[in-house]
Copies of this chain bind each other. A is one copy, B any other.
Amino acid sequence: MSDALFDKLCLIGIGLIGSSIARGARRHNLAKAIAIADSSYEARKDAEALQLGDLYDADPAAAVQGADLVIICAPVGAYAEIGQAIAPHLKPGAILSDVGSVKQAVVRDLGPLLPDHVHFIPGHPVAGTEHSGPKAGFAELFEGRWQILTPLPGADQAAVEKLAAFWRGLGSNVEIMEPSHHDQVLAITSHLPHLIAYTIVGTATGLEDSTQREVIKFSASGFRDFTRIAASNPIMWRDIFLNNREAVLEMLGRFSEDLTALQRAIRWGEGEKLEDWFTRTRAIRRSIIDAKQA
């Protein structure tokens, strides 16, 4: 067996993503040892039962000791606290990364806390399911999916390449991007779709009881696709919206204008306008199938 890419990988947070990284890193021999930190006792016990790591700790400061790769896999709202706890204990030359769905806020919250002798390279795997917790993870989660890295200006190229190699080892395609551009693209591809799915599922729960039962019964007609998305981790999504506020509100503004235009077309019976719009959207589906992301 060839040498592992990293000697010690430390995962802070062992939910769906952290646990999938642990499983993938093991399978593909990407780290000799895996340390897992999670503030939840239950999560640590589950991780231990699943043999996801080699050591388990409630305290991230203890878990990062000697790690040459640290990945924060916690909700973005917890980063500042985690950063303060681990900063003095990070090994010189270590790579610190994360899997948060927003990147400007991560740079803002973590950047100032970290010592110069650490390579800080934020990241975001564009992959996931609606399930949460250590048991929900699986080693294949990242296969064929994109891993976005958003290194800061002046980042060490060798460190970026080593982190990219880790993600390629998990099966991902790696893309380098500016944090601000990442946040704008994800606002439309991920954050707004989730917000809208959460909204409509909530709207349905507000209906009278008898109708609500039928909503569940006849959900195969479109609604159920939204409920899958709206079953994602509430804390994680709360933090995403609070930390990508500007881009989400900007995309939401565009969406609301478009929705109002279609609403007006329905009210005034403008069939041609509706048909034109619905014909245009078909083409996008074709592109996604061609890009093998369907």
Given contacts A220-B146, A222-B229, A223-B190, contact A185 B205 (CB under 8 A): no
A277 to B227 alpha-carbon distance, docked (Å) = 13
Q: Which of B127, B184, B193, B279 contacts A234 (CB 8 A)?
A: B279
Tell whether A115 is near chain B: CB-to-CB under 8 Å: no
**Cβ contacts under 8 Å, A248 to chain B:** 266
Tell whether A45 is near chain B: CB-to-CB under 8 Å: no
**Cβ contacts under 8 Å, A282 to chain B:** 230-231, 234
A199 to B192 alpha-carbon distance, docked (Å) = 12
Contact in complex: A293, B185 (CB < 8 Å): no
Q: Which of B203, B215, B275, B293 contacts A258 (CB 8 A)?
A: B203
Contact in complex: B215, A189 (CB < 8 Å): yes
**Cβ contacts under 8 Å, A199 to chain B:** 255, 258-259, 262
Contact in complex: A188, B205 (CB < 8 Å): no
Tell whether A241 is near chain B: CB-to-CB under 8 Å: yes
**Cβ contacts under 8 Å, A224 to chain B:** 288, 293-294
The count of identical subunits is: 2
Tell whether A168 is near chain B: CB-to-CB under 8 Å: no
A225 to B242 alpha-carbon distance, docked (Å) = 24
Q: Which of B128, B227, B266, B278 contacts A288 (CB 8 A)?
A: B227
Contact in complex: B274, A238 (CB < 8 Å): yes
Contact in complex: B193, A222 (CB < 8 Å): yes
Q: Which of B145, B214, B241, B279 contacts A274 (CB 8 A)?
A: B241
Q: Give chain B nearest CB distance to A197 CB in angstroms.
A: 8
Contact in complex: A221, B128 (CB < 8 Å): yes
Task: Name the interface residues of A132-151: CB closer than 8 Å to any CB of B.
Answer: 145-146, 148
Q: Give chain B nearest CB distance to A234 CB in angstroms.
A: 4
Contact in complex: A216, B255 (CB < 8 Å): no
0 or 1 for each of A180-211: is its CB under 8 Å from B? (1 = yes): 00001110111111111111111111110001
Starting from the known contacts A189-B223, A256-B259, 12 additional A-B residue pairs (CB-CB under 8 Å) come to A126-B221, A185-B214, A188-B211, A196-B196, A198-B278, A202-B258, A202-B277, A203-B254, A203-B258, A216-B291, A224-B293, A242-B274
Which A residues form the contact surface with B (CB < 8 A)? 77, 101, 126-128, 130, 145-146, 148, 175, 184-186, 188-207, 211, 214-232, 234-235, 237-239, 241-242, 245, 248-249, 251-252, 254-256, 258-259, 262-263, 266-267, 269, 271, 274-275, 277-288, 291, 293-294
